[in-house]
Structure 1
Amino acid sequence: MEPVPHHEIHEMTVDGAEVVLVSVSPLSVNGPCYYLPVGITNGSFKRVGDEDRKLSHLEIYELQNRFVQTKTDRNPVPDSSIDDLNNQLAASFKQRLIESNSRSLGTDDNWLLRKNITTSKGELTIAGLLALGSYPQQFFPRVIIDVAVHPGLHKSPIGTSIRFEDRKICEGNLLEMVQEAMSAIKRNLRVRRVVEGLSGKDVLEIPEEVLREALANAVLHRDYSELAQNEAIHVDIYKDRVEITSPGGLPNGKRPESILDGYSEPRNRVLSRILMDIPWTHEVQGVLAESNGTGVPRMFNLMREAGLPVPNFKIDISSVTVELSRHGLLDAQTSEWLVEKLGSDFSNTQGIALVLAKELGAVTSRDLRNQTGHDSEDMRSLLDALVDRGVLNQNLQNQYQLATSSVNVTQSEQEVLDAINKTTPVTIREIATKTGKTASSLRPLLRGLVEAGLVVATAPPSSRNRAYLKA
């Protein structure tokens, strides 16, 4: 094998048998690790399920350059010139440089060269064309954002002839592509009316700032090398989530566990610097890419505040996918239930508190802090305020349960309660066995008992590990 990764070999005894234990560390140099006799193209594999799959040319390239700071975005685009720039965007870009007293302007008119938008021969760089071009797809037809809305939870679901409910191919420079993609995504997500003071606003089920950050990261950090130019950025909208996939793995040796370290490690340094001076729009403050490492942590915090699971990053050799869940306070049934409990002007944090109390049977200030990132004392005050409103009750364990006007239960509910104890969680199948009832008939009974605070669920409704305890 070449290169040989660091590894350790130990002999040990397991169940009375002698075995050899081999511990192989990840490569700390450019790879891939391949079988030397057949060469890198035929001898490079990855494990997928229970099979060995040969690496693609792009995957091999990504591993060969994993610990290299590439300069692809500085490369010239043959046959391009300043005539291929978007004059209005270039003027806005220059105006921002003027306002920030950028030294790149100098005393002459060579600022395009100093900002690496053009080369010394007058051609545009890849970064310059993508960031400020009028139509980069003339040179890079597949450098686009492909937004597709799927009718189910997966692509091309069985049982329907509909492949897409909506689809938008987003072209233009990076700002235009991101703006078009945002419009297409917003068109296909739910909104809720939130009252603030004397006015109200429509709130998207996934925070807009999270979507903008994810799209900006995708165009900034994707691979623009020749092999990757055939790959588009894909935005797939499913019934329960939005997935944004960009070509290229993590650059410069960055590891998946360091995504939240607050340190920016751009693959495309020239492009990163240019996008720091391209404003969003008049409606949105800031620039297309801050490049200061705060974007991903901000995404996590905003998702928590919206009552949504944090973003899930799926890292492959030649792609990065961020998965954003749509299961939050804006689910139609949940939203209606919250309005019944709190009225139409509830805050996100109040909504999260009630959803947790409903799904888990009880909520604590720590639960709410972990979900929202807010201070525990503030969360305790919020829960106490909901007790004062008669929405929650506090028990002796300082847990907050949904208030109920009556503890009277039906005969069927009592049978369910008799099948549950306070110490050992039981599943719905175990309850069905004890009561002789079907799982479908038990679900509404258990839901009512959880809402009444008589039963505590150990996991959210979507979890396979959900079980029940008597409160």
Structure 2
Amino acid sequence: MEPFELEEHLDRLRKNRKDDKTIEVKSWSSSPSGEESKSFWESLSAFANTNGGYILLGLSEPDFTPVEGFDSQMSIQFIRAGLNPQDRDGQKVEPVPHHEIKEITVDGAKVVVISVSPLDVNGPCYYLPAGINNGSFKRVGDEDRKLSNLEIYELQNRFVQTKIDRNPVPDSSIDDLNNQLVTLFKQRLIETGSRSIGTDDNWLLRKNITASNGELTVAGLLALGSYPQQFFPGVFIDVAVHPGLHKSPIGTSTRFEDRKICEGNLLEMVQEAMAAIKRNLRVRRVIEGLSGKDVLEIPEEVLREALANAVLHRDYSELAQNEAIHVDIYKDRVEITSPGGLPNGKRPESIMDGYSEPRNRVLSRILMDIPWTHEVQGVLAESNGRGVPRMFNLMREAGLPVPNFKIDISSVTVELSRHGLLDTQTNEWLVEKLGPNFSNPQGIALVLAKELGAVTPRDLRNQTGHDSEDMQNLLDDLVDRQILHQSSKNQYHLASPAVSVSPSEQAVLDAINGSTPVTIREIATITGKTTASLRPLLRSLVDAGLVIATAPPSSRNRAYLKA
């Protein structure tokens, strides 16, 4: 951390008057010991086990000013001794994370900055005197919280390719398989020319559905079993519909508006979860050609992909088997949370890289040959790394924010927004402008024109993923329908009401948008006109109802919005 970066961080801390998820500040005495020393090593453990961060020594809270008498050199010697893996008696944490120790001047006094990198080896990083179970921490906001047993397990195996899905399930047998699904699965293997189907009856063993002792594997039972919950009662999908924007506190009268516990094999669980989600989301009727179809507010393919990812990549280890996949439906979003962090050392920033890193390789290969349904083409999991980028593109095409992934040590949550074109007020406005059977790109074009003041073919292409020429034709069609107005080569505005305006008035209209008020001086800069010549034009547009003034004529704060 450079001095100028430290100043930026300190400005934020002083404004909030507390630490945060990135920085922990400690005053420290000249020779830290006891709780003071223990607290430092716990914070270092927490940053190493999460996303890294900084520990600042020699500043007092909540003003974050230098501590009188702080000995920076003695503190540096103390920290280096505790981070020396060659000194087993003095070492305080294991494993030692990558770090950097610097002395920086703040308000004329020396402070110490320790930069801690996230672990790039199996962990967890823990405070040795307390032991791994009591000395392992994670950073949550401005706190250091002790890791759960599951979180410790996840960090111990983060850079290991686990083989849990290959393990046999005690007391299981082929009698626990769903014969109808097994038939469909085998038929697909035959149709695709799989070499696992030989002249003998050992194809279940070759596909790792059964183990060598005749018992079913974890993957085989989950993917093709008749009722896996007999062996794994905690492995299910819990779909809950909440009445507001957050989970209702325990004890309130209405905790759920709807709830469905989805059991069976993985395909059945996903199918039941999809039905429960669709039952609780809005739909809109769209006419395509001579027929119509119901369009879900969150694209169905996005939901299927998110659920398939959840059942494929979740942790099926013994510690995680009591953790269900949770689907929480709120008024503004859907959250799908699966047990287990990112596998095989994958980092959050690499989610969109197009490479698949399956935690469960045997299960992944089986799900590649399980067909969805008769109504939905394809297989339960393609496992080619293109699923997440496809989700992003489909959400953009629907006029929705892209998925938001929240990564924790022992869970992954994908957040899917419901605030798109089917938001009630937005949809009503679009129906008024376009009629009830508008397409998603048409709706997105108008929403962008309304929110940005103007829309271009490039804006529409970036949002929908469609070809630029097609988007240009769509915008031109909206101009022909007098829904949009083209003010320049690539600028399209919402058309004004059918009121005759002069060229000068139109130039003023083009300089005003419907979301951000602009002052007369800003309009003068955009149009090149003087404020004196603009006043009668603006007065005429206000009188015609085409422009809204935000304050009385005598107010210095008067600005203008397009009606």
In the superposition, the TM-score normalised over structure 2's length comes to 0.73
User: Residue 200 of structure 2 is aligned with which of 101, 108, 127?
Assistant: 108
What's the CA shift string for 1:234-265, capped at 9, x where partnerless? 00000110000000000000000000000000
2-structure distance, mates of 1:28, 1:9 = 19
Cα gap change, 1:314/1:386 in structure 2, threshold over 3 Å: closer, same or farther? same
Which structure 2 residues correspond to residues 252-263 of structure 1 after superposition, within 5 A?
252-263=344-355
Cα gap change, 1:13/1:379 in structure 2, threshold over 3 Å: closer, same or farther? farther
Contact 2:356 2:384 in 1 (8 A): yes
What's the CA shift string for 1:395-451, capped at 9, x where partnerless? 348432211124999xxxx9x9998427789xxxxxxxxxxxxxxxxxxxxxx99x9
2-structure distance, mates of 1:31, 1:356 = 47
1:98 Cα deviation after fit: 1.1
Which structure 2 residues correspond to residues 188-199 of structure 1 after superposition, within 5 A?
188-199=280-291
2-structure distance, mates of 1:207, 1:31 = 39
Which residue does the alignment assign to 2:385? Answer: 293
Bigger CA radius of gyration: 2
Contact 1:423 1:469 in 2 (8 A): no
Q: Structure 1 residues 330-339 or 369-378, which shifts more? A: 369-378
Which residue does the alignment assign to 2:116? Answer: 24
Which residue does the alignment assign to 1:74? Answer: 166
SS of the residue corresponding to residue 321 of structure 2 reads helix
1:393 Cα deviation after fit: 1.5
1:454 Cα deviation after fit: 7.0
Cα gap change, 1:129/1:354 in structure 2, threshold over 3 Å: closer, same or farther? same
Cα gap change, 1:116/1:317 in structure 2, threshold over 3 Å: closer, same or farther? same
2-structure distance, mates of 1:290, 1:13 = 55
Which residue does the alignment assign to 1:421? Answer: 519
1:246 pairs with 2:344: no
Which residue does the alignment assign to 1:184? Answer: 276
Supply the AA of the counterpart residue of 2:224: L
2-structure distance, mates of 1:418, 1:327 = 21
Which structure 2 residues correspond to residues 202-213 of structure 1 after superposition, within 5 A?
202-213=294-305
SS of the residue corresponding to residue 277 of structure 2 reads helix
Which residue does the alignment assign to 2:407? Answer: 315
1-structure distance, mates of 2:516, 2:351 = 47
1:361 Cα deviation after fit: 2.5
Supply the AA of the counterpart residue of 2:395: M
2-structure distance, mates of 1:305, 1:87 = 40
1:83 pairs with 2:83: no
1:33 pairs with 2:131: no
1:180 Cα deviation after fit: 0.3
2-structure distance, mates of 1:366, 1:417 = 21
2-structure distance, mates of 1:38, 1:126 = 36
Cα gap change, 1:395/1:198 in structure 2, threshold over 3 Å: closer, same or farther? same
Contact 1:402 1:453 in 2 (8 A): no
1-structure distance, mates of 2:515, 2:371 = 59
Which residue does the alignment assign to 1:362? Answer: 454
2-structure distance, mates of 1:206, 1:6 = 42
Which residue does the alignment assign to 1:437? Answer: none
SS of the residue corresponding to residue 326 of structure 2 reads strand
Q: Which has the higher contact order (CA 8 A, sep 6+)?
A: 1
What's the CA shift string for 1:112-147, capped at 9, x where partnerless? 111111111100000000000000000000100000
Which residue does the alignment assign to 1:131? Answer: 223
What's the CA shift string for 1:11-42, capped at 9, x where partnerless? 23344333333222221100111101110100
1:344 Cα deviation after fit: 2.5
Which residue does the alignment assign to 1:348? Answer: 440
Q: Structure 1 residues 346-355 or 214-223, which shifts more? A: 346-355
Q: Structure 1 residues 74-83 or 155-164, which shifts more? A: 155-164
2-structure distance, mates of 1:93, 1:102 = 11
Supply the AA of the counterpart residue of 1:148: A
Supply the AA of the counterpart residue of 2:182: A
User: Residue 243 of structure 2 is aligned with which of 138, 146, 151?
Assistant: 151
1:337 pairs with 2:446: no
Cα gap change, 1:294/1:423 in structure 2, threshold over 3 Å: closer, same or farther? farther
Cα gap change, 1:271/1:453 in structure 2, threshold over 3 Å: closer, same or farther? farther
Structure 2 segments unaligned to the other structure (5+ residues) = 1-92, 506-511, 524-541, 551-558
Cα gap change, 1:23/1:397 in structure 2, threshold over 3 Å: closer, same or farther? farther
1-structure distance, mates of 2:411, 2:250 = 26
1:5 pairs with 2:97: yes
Q: Structure 1 residues 399-408 or 215-224, which shifts more? A: 399-408
Which residue does the alignment assign to 2:361? Answer: 269
Contact 1:424 1:469 in 2 (8 A): no
Which residue does the alignment assign to 1:58? Answer: 150
RMSD value over aligned CA atoms?
Answer: 2.7
1:324 Cα deviation after fit: 0.5
2-structure distance, mates of 1:31, 1:236 = 31
1:333 Cα deviation after fit: 2.3
User: Residue 315 of structure 2 is aligned with which of 211, 223, 231?
Assistant: 223
Supply the AA of the counterpart residue of 2:519: N
Contact 1:350 1:382 in 2 (8 A): yes
Contact 2:451 2:515 in 1 (8 A): no
Contact 1:156 1:163 in 2 (8 A): yes
In the superposition, the TM-score normalised over structure 1's length comes to 0.86
User: Residue 477 of structure 2 is aligned with which of 342, 363, 385?
Assistant: 385
1:381 Cα deviation after fit: 3.1
Cα gap change, 1:8/1:195 in structure 2, threshold over 3 Å: closer, same or farther? same
1-structure distance, mates of 2:297, 2:94 = 49
Q: Structure 1 residues 177-186 or 10-19, which shifts more? A: 10-19
1:214 pairs with 2:275: no
Cα gap change, 1:402/1:2 in structure 2, threshold over 3 Å: closer, same or farther? same
2-structure distance, mates of 1:348, 1:385 = 15
1:105 Cα deviation after fit: 1.4
1:371 pairs with 2:469: no
Identity of aligned residues (%): 83
SS of the residue corresponding to residue 177 of structure 1 reads helix
SS of the residue corresponding to residue 421 of structure 2 reads coil
1-structure distance, mates of 2:521, 2:96 = 52
SS of the residue corresponding to residue 179 of structure 1 reads helix
2-structure distance, mates of 1:417, 1:280 = 44
Which residue does the alignment assign to 2:33? Answer: none
2-structure distance, mates of 1:199, 1:107 = 48
Contact 1:364 1:400 in 2 (8 A): yes
Structure 1 segments unaligned to the other structure (5+ residues) = 426-447, 457-467
Aligned residues: 432
